[in-house]
Amino acid sequence: MQAATRFVVLTTQRNGSTWLMSVLNSLDGVSGQGELFLPRPRTPERRWDSDFAHPRYVESAARFGTRRPRSVFRYLDDLYSAPHSVGFSLMYSQLRSFPEILVFLMRDRIPVVHLVRRNHLDVLISFAVKGRIGQAHILSPAERPREISVELDTASLLKDLERLQHKHDVGRRVLRVCRLRHIEVGYEDLVADPTDFRRVLQFLGISLDGSVPESHILKSRLGGQRDVVSNYDDVRRTLAGSRFSQFLD
C-alpha cells in the first residue's frame, strides 16, 4: 500500500484545475478536492464534486472557529488527517487572502503542483464562454450548447494578457522564494500527452496501474478560436506584432 500524499494544486481560475482534480480523484486512494478556500458556501446545484466534496473553510466555523490563523491551520490539519492521499485547488487570489496557508505549506513541506495554462488567450475565451453559458463546467453532452459565440474586448486585451502572465510569474517567484518543493505543468501539456500526467504522479509519489483515467469534465467549446470569437479578426489585428500573437490559432 502506497503512503498517503498531501498536496496542493496552485493555479488561477480557468486554468484547468477542476479537470486535473477530477482525474486525480478517479485514482484509487486519492481525494482531489476543488477550491476549499472559496469565500462562500456551496450552492445546492449539482456540481462535479457533489458526491465527495470536503466542506469549505467558510463552512467550517462551527468546528474550527474563525480566529485566524489558528482556524486555518486546524482546518488544514483535519483535511490532511485522512488515511488516503488528499489535495485541493488553491487559487493565487485565495493564497493572497489567506497568506497563512503558505506558512502551513512551508511548515509541513506540502508539495505543490503549479498548474499553468500557457495560452492566456484561451483563458480569456474560457472566461467569456463561462459568462455566456452561465456555468463553469460541463458535466454532460446535453449541457453543452451547440453553438457558442463570444466577443473579446480588444481595448483591454493586451492588458488582460499581461495580467495573466504576471500572475504566473508571481506564483513562480513565491514558490521559489519559499523553497517549496514543486513541479510546474501546463494544462495543454497534460491534455495532449499523458506522459506529463505521469510526471505529476511520480512527483507526488502516487502510483498508477494502467492508463490515465479520463475526466468527466467536458470542454465547454469544441471549435477553434475563430469558431467561437465573433471578433476574431479584430483580436488578431490587436495582437499582431506583440509577444502574445503566438496564442492565436
SS (H, E, C) the chain: CCCCCEEEEEECCCCCHHHHHHHHHCCCCEEEEEECCCCCCCCCCCCCCCCCCCCCHHHCHHHHCCCCCHHHHHHHHHHCCCCCEEEEEEEHHHHHHCCHHHHHHHHHCCCEEEEECCCHHHHHHHHHHHHHHCCCCECCHHHCCCCCCECCCCCCHHHHHHHHHHHHHHHHHHHHHCCCCEEEEEHHHHHHCHHHHHHHHHHHCCCCCCCCCCCCCECCCCCCHHHHECCHHHHHHHHCCCCCHHHCC
Lowest-confidence pick of 29-33, 74-78, 112-116, 133-137 = 133-137
Whether residue 1 is contained in a domain is answered as: no
Q: Which residues pair with 229 in a beta bridge?
A: 150
- pLDDT band at residue 122, thresholds of 50, 70 and 90? very high
| CB distance 116 to 15 below 8 Å | yes
Query: Beta-carbon neighbour count of residue 102 at 10 Å?
Result: 17
Whether residue 46 is contained in a domain is answered as: yes
Mean pLDDT, rounded, for 12-17: 93
Domain with residue 130: its CATH number is 3.40.50
Measured CA to CA, the distance from residue 239 to residue 231 in angstroms comes to 13
| CB distance 105 to 99 below 8 Å | no
Is the pLDDT confidence value at 124 over 80?
yes
Q: Which domain holds residue 184?
A: 6-247
Mean pLDDT, rounded, for 99-106: 98
pLDDT (tens digit per residue) in 194-239: 788 999 999 999 988 888 888 777 777 778 999 999 999 999 999 9
Q: How many domains, the chain?
A: 1
Whether residue 201 is contained in a domain is answered as: yes
